[in-house]
């Protein structure tokens, strides 16, 4: 009997190993296919010619050229270690001396142990640098979570109560995964430059999120749409039901664009009634404080709260919800 029991246990272990190996192989194939799609898509985007470009745009276009070259020549398994990513959209301990303050705030929330502690657990996609003070997460994810927690506190609206999110400038997709980690179950739109949209699709698909085409998104009640075409964006936003909770999200993003870009986006926000915006005082010659004060006046249907970030000089939050 004992010999038969041992034999049965050995058979179970062998079957488990085969199953794990099959799952790992399937995951590798899926990741490889997503990577090949990334390379295929990025090849379609031309490098930017930096001659005769306004000085305010040169830096970002140069960063996009660097990103495209890296996406064509390097394996994205390590993309969160690329210099251009860390410089533009990934906070590390080196530059995030305010992260301990934000983490303490999260830990002191009543829902830390049943929500945020789980939501900020980092994954391995892109090889993110762990936060030294909290290695289970990254400084970048903690920073995103702090902004979201500020929104929940000021509006008394939980993320899972939101129907649709429109994020302007989504980085590599980190904020959208955080929303789903916090219980969001609706439709999430990220509007960004083409190279970033491609990177977002790679990141979110590798994590297993449902990233849809615009046709699929139009018919679905949930999922993520990563787009760069303003006309596609218009076609989606105009259909939103303004009686639902629809959030506009732009943290240090729309505040870093020229006036012409802002003027193309703001008229599309009429069906959005929740706002989470973070912005710096100035962008090149643009006075952002004056700009967003005028924006608040233009949306008198929204109850606004705005304040300077004491621990991050020169930056501000602007949070609002409909009356």
> Is residue 19 one of the residues assigned to a domain?
no
Helices 139-155 and 99-107 meet at what angle, rounded to 10?
A: 50
> Is residue 10 one of the residues assigned to a domain?
no
Whether the per-residue pLDDT at 27 is higher than 70: the answer is: no
Taking the model in full, what pTM does it have? 0.89
The pLDDT value recorded for residue 7 is 55
Name, in order, each residue with C-beta under 8 angstroms of 308's C-beta and a sequence gap of 6 or more. Answer: 315, 316
Helix, strand and coil content of the chain, in percent to the nearest 5, comes to 50, 15, 30
Cβ-based burial of 139 (10 A; exposed 0-12, middle 13-18, buried ≥19): buried
Which residue reads 């969160």 in tokens?
Answer: 80
Query: Can you say whether the dihedral through the CA atoms of 203, 208, 210, 213 is positive or negative?
Result: positive
The pLDDT value recorded for residue 29 is 40
Other CB atoms within a 10 A radius of the CB of residue 278 amount to 21
What's the CATH code of the domain at 172? 3.40.50.150
**pLDDT one-digit tens code per residue, 217-245:** 999 999 999 999 999 999 999 999 999 99
Name, in order, each residue with C-beta under 8 angstroms of 206's C-beta and a sequence gap of 6 or more. Answer: 30, 31, 34, 125
Whether the per-residue pLDDT at 15 is higher than 70: the answer is: no
> Is residue 296 one of the residues assigned to a domain?
yes
247-264 average pLDDT score: 96
> What domain count does the chain have?
1
* DSSP secondary structure, 214-277, as one string: HHHHHH-SSEEEEE--HHHHHHHHTT--TTS-EEEEEESSGGGS-HHHHHHHGGGGTT--EEEE
262-283 average pLDDT score: 98
> Is residue 31 one of the residues assigned to a domain?
no
> Is residue 268 one of the residues assigned to a domain?
yes
The confidence band for 127, taking pLDDT boundaries of 50, 70 and 90, is very high
* DSSP secondary structure, 63-112, as one string: HHHHHHHHHHHS-GGGGGGSHHHHHHT---TTT-TTHHHHHHHHHTSTTI
> Is residue 129 one of the residues assigned to a domain?
yes
> Is residue 13 one of the residues assigned to a domain?
no
Q: Please work out, in degrees rounded to the nearest 5, the angle formed at the alpha carbon of residue 312 by the alpha carbons of 296 and 115.
A: 80
> Is residue 28 one of the residues assigned to a domain?
no
DSSP 114: I
The radius of gyration of the chain from alpha carbons, rounded to an integer in Å, stands at 22
| Structural domain boundaries enclosing 257 | 88-322
């Amino acid at each position: 009997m004992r010999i038969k029991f041992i034999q049965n246990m050995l058979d179970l272990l062998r079957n488990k190993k085969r199953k794990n190996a099959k799952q790992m192989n399937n995951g590798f194939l899926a990741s490889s296919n997503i990577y090949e799609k990334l390379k295929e898509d990025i090849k379609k985007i031309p490098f930017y010619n930096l001659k005769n470009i306004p000085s305010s745009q040169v830096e970002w276009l140069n960063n996009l050229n660097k990103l495209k070259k890296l996406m064509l020549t390097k394996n994205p398994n390590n993309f969160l270690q690329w210099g251009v990513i860390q410089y533009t959209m990934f906070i590390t301990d080196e530059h995030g001396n305010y992260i301990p303050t934000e983490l303490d705030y999260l830990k002191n929330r009543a829902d830390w142990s049943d929500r945020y502690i789980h939501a900020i657990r980092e994954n391995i996609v892109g090889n993110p640098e762990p936060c030294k003070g909290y290695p289970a997460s990254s400084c970048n994810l903690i920073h995103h979570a702090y902004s979201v927690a500020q929104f929940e506190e000021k509006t008394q609206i939980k993320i899972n109560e939101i129907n649709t999110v429109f994020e302007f400038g989504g980085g590599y997709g980190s904020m959208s995964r955080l929303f789903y980690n916090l219980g969001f179950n609706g439709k999430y739109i990220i509007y960004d430059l083409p190279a970033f949209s491609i990177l977002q699709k790679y990141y979110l698909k590798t994590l297993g999120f449902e990233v849809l085409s615009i046709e699929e998104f139009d018919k679905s009640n949930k999922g993520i749409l990563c787009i760069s075409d303003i006309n596609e964006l218009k076609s989606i936003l105009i259909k939103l039901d303004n009686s639902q909770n629809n959030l506009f999200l732009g943290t240090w993003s729309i505040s870093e664009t020229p006036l012409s870009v802002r003027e193309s986006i703001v008229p599309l926000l009429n069906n959005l009634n929740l706002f989470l915006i973070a912005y710096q005082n100035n962008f090149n010659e643009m006075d952002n404080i004056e700009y967003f004060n005028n924006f608040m006046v233009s949306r008198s249907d929204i109850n606004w709260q705005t304040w300077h970030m004491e621990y991050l000089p020169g930056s501000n939050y602007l949070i609002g919800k409909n009356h």
